[in-house]
Each structure stands twice: as C-alpha cells, then as structure tokens.
Amino acid sequence: MYRGKSIAVVVPAYNEEKLIGATLESIPDYVDRVFVVNDGSTDGTADIVEEYKAKDPRIRLINKSNGGVGSAIVFGYKAATEEGLDISAVMAGDNQMDPAYLPSLLDPIIDGEAHYTKGNRLSGKDSYRGMSRWRLLGNNLLTLLTKISSGLWHISDPQNGYTAIDNSVFKRLDPEEIFAWYGYCNDLLTRLNMYGFVVKDVPIPARYGDEKSKIKYPEYIYRVSKLLLLDFVMRISYKQKSKSVISFVSAAFVVAVLSYLGILVILGTQSVYQAPSQVFLFLAFASALTVSILLVFYLFLMICGTALLHRRVPKLNP
C-alpha cells in the first residue's frame, strides 16, 4: 500500500532474460502486486520470473501469445483491475525505470490532480542525458505530432513508458480499442484527452544501461505515423459532437457568409466609394477564403472521421 492506495506494477517483458531479474528486485516494498506480462519470449525470461515468483508472492506471471507491448500492458492493467487494485504503474522489463521516481507518478493520482501520469525526459538538459541525438530528435518530433494528434499541448515525451493510471479510469476505457503495438502510449493519451481525463507530466531523467531496444525504426515510423493521423481524425470527430465545437463551426460559417456578402456589397458600390473599397475588398476576401478553406478541411475530416468511426467507435463505459 502507498498512502492508503493499493498499487500494481505492470512489467511488459519480451526476451528480457538479462534484465528482468534486476527489474523485479528493484520494485519497492509498498507495491502490492507485480504483473509480469511475457508474450512469447523465446529466451529464459519466463523461467527467471518463475524463480523470482517463488521468492516473492507479489509476483504473478502472465504468459500469452505475442501481441505487442501495448497489448501486454493492457493485459496487465486488466489483471490489476480484476484483482481490485487502485493504481497501475508500468515499469518495463529492461530495468529502464528508476523506482525512486515511482512516488512522483503516484502522488498526483492519489491527490486527485490527475487520472494518468507519465515520465518526461525532455523537461531539462540533465533529464535527457544518455539519449542519443537521433533519439532526442525523434522524441521531439513525436512530441509535436502527438500534441497535435492528442490535443494534449502540455505533454512532452509521449513515448515515455514510465506511467501510472487510476484503475477506475482504465475500467471505463474499452481495452480492445487501445493500440496493441509501440504507439499504445500515444493512443492512450489521445483517448484519455478525448474523454476529458487529466494527464500530467512528471520530470524523470532518462536511464539507459545494457538494454537493447527492440524497436525496428522503418516499421515504427510507418505504424506510429498512421496511428497519429487516425487518432487525430478520431479525436476531432469525437469532439464535433460537443456543443462548443458545433457553435464554433456555426460561427465560422456565419463569418464566411458575411465576408462574401461584404465583397458583393463592396463590388456593388465600388463606383461611389472607390478609394476605401480596395482595402475592404482585400480584407473581406482574405477572411472569406481563410474561413472557407478551414471549413472545407473540417468537413473533409468529418467525412473521414465518420468512415473511421464506423470501424473504431470510441466507447466510454459508465
């Protein structure tokens, strides 16, 4: 228990025989349950976890067929909610997450400031030390794209897997909808914002050691870019149902119509008011064109979104 709340740690592990032991040893005493999700490792990961399980009754090993890191984490979240634990944190099986920072992820949830917290390695110069230049560049680019996709403008380092979620919030999501592969963290951010849940960044420095990343970059770039685009459309389509978006679009439509009417009036009276008409004509035309382009873009998104939502209807459970 930590500050009166029961804590689960979900450990996704795929071929982590080298580092899974160190990861499990480092999990703090106040953690109530540890769910190691091993999906299809071909090395000795499962055997090592079994050894630790015999010594530490908090550990539960979940073996499943390989479905990607996202699906492994969702499996862990499901097990934790089924066992009635209050909060689930994620600590990867490659010992990249420093347990000393776990309280800073749990506190905002317990204090009612956030439903989901995540580490941020981009908060200052010292925090991204150890990250290669390419990774830093990629991370910054993904930060920008995820801000646009998810609408969470205050969030950086979306790829950070060191997170914690309020399990009462997880229960309300549709787990089958969450992206199964590496972009799961970006997808979860979009869904949480879409439903109005609060996400908070916690500065946590990067920790790199002997681990080997399993990410294959060409596949990663293709699949995650596609996901970010689909999530953007999904979010906008979902939000369009809200009153504020409908009134914003109606207001934009009125501005466009009035601007075009203004142009017609100016053209009609041009011979009388020759001098000022050029400026007004230009301003009215520019505003009408801008608003029209935005409206066309918006309608295009709506059409795509409607088609998309037939496949992936976002649901929020009561």
- How far out from the chain centre does Cα 272 lie? 58
Which partner in Mg ion, ligand GTP, none is near 70 (CB below 5 to 8 A by kind)?
none
Which partner in Mg ion, ligand GTP, none is near 14 (CB below 5 to 8 A by kind)?
ligand GTP
Q: Which of 16, 94, 166, 231 binds Mg ion (CB under 5 A)?
A: 94
| Token code pair at residue 210 | 């002997």
Measured CA to CA, the distance from residue 160 to residue 220 in angstroms comes to: 15
**Residue partners of 5: CB distance under 8 A and separation at least 6:** 86, 87, 106, 109, 110
Asked if 37 interacts with ligand GTP (CB under 6 A), we say yes
List the one residue out of 26, 245, 225, 199 whose CA is nearest residue 138: 225
Asked if 213 interacts with ligand GTP (CB under 6 A), we say yes
Chain position whose Cβ is nearest to ligand GTP? 213
CB of 14 to Mg ion, least distance (A): 10
CB of 151 to Mg ion, least distance (A): 27
Asked if 69 interacts with ligand GTP (CB under 6 A), we say yes
Q: How would you list the strands of the sheet with 87-90, edge to edge?
A: 59-64, 33-39, 7-13, 87-90, 163-166, 116-120, 199-203
Question: Given the rule CB under 5 A, which of 9-17, 88-96, 259-267, 290-298 is the region that contacts Mg ion?
Answer: 88-96
Name the residue nearer to ligand GTP (CB basis): 181 or 260: 181
Which partner in ligand GTP, Mg ion, none is near 215 (CB below 5 to 8 A by kind)?
ligand GTP
- Using CB under 6 A as the binding criterion, the count of chain residues that bind ligand GTP stands at 21
Asked if 32 interacts with Mg ion (CB under 5 A), we say no
CB of 163 to Mg ion, least distance (A): 14
Asked if 68 interacts with ligand GTP (CB under 6 A), we say yes
Which partner in Mg ion, ligand GTP, none is near 95 (CB below 5 to 8 A by kind)?
none
Question: Given the rule CB under 6 A, which of 49-57, 92-100, 227-235, 286-294 is the region that contacts ligand GTP?
Answer: 92-100
CB of 97 to ligand GTP, least distance (A): 9
- Residue pair 167/86 in contact (Cβ under 8 Å)? The answer is yes
- Residue pair 31/58 in contact (Cβ under 8 Å)? The answer is yes
- Using CB under 5 A as the binding criterion, the count of chain residues that bind Mg ion stands at 2
Measured CA to CA, the distance from residue 88 to residue 170 in angstroms comes to: 9
| Token code pair at residue 46 | 């499962």
CB of 149 to ligand GTP, least distance (A): 18
Taking residue 281's Cβ as centre, other Cβ atoms within 10 Å add up to 15
List the one residue out of 140, 227, 218 whose CA is nearest residue 181: 227
Q: Which of 24, 27, 74, 92 binds ligand GTP (CB under 6 A)?
A: 92
CB of 38 to Mg ion, least distance (A): 15
Q: What per-residue string of b and e applies to 166-204 under the rule 16 or more CB within 10 Å gives b?
A: bbebbeebeeeebbbbbbbbbbbbbbbbbeebbbbbbbb
The enclosing H or E element of 142 equals: helix 133-150
CA atoms within 13 A on the CB side of 281: 13
Chain contacts with ligand GTP (rule: CB under 6 A): 12-14, 16, 37-39, 66, 68-69, 72, 92-94, 96, 159, 161, 211, 213-215
Chain contacts with Mg ion (rule: CB under 5 A): 94, 96
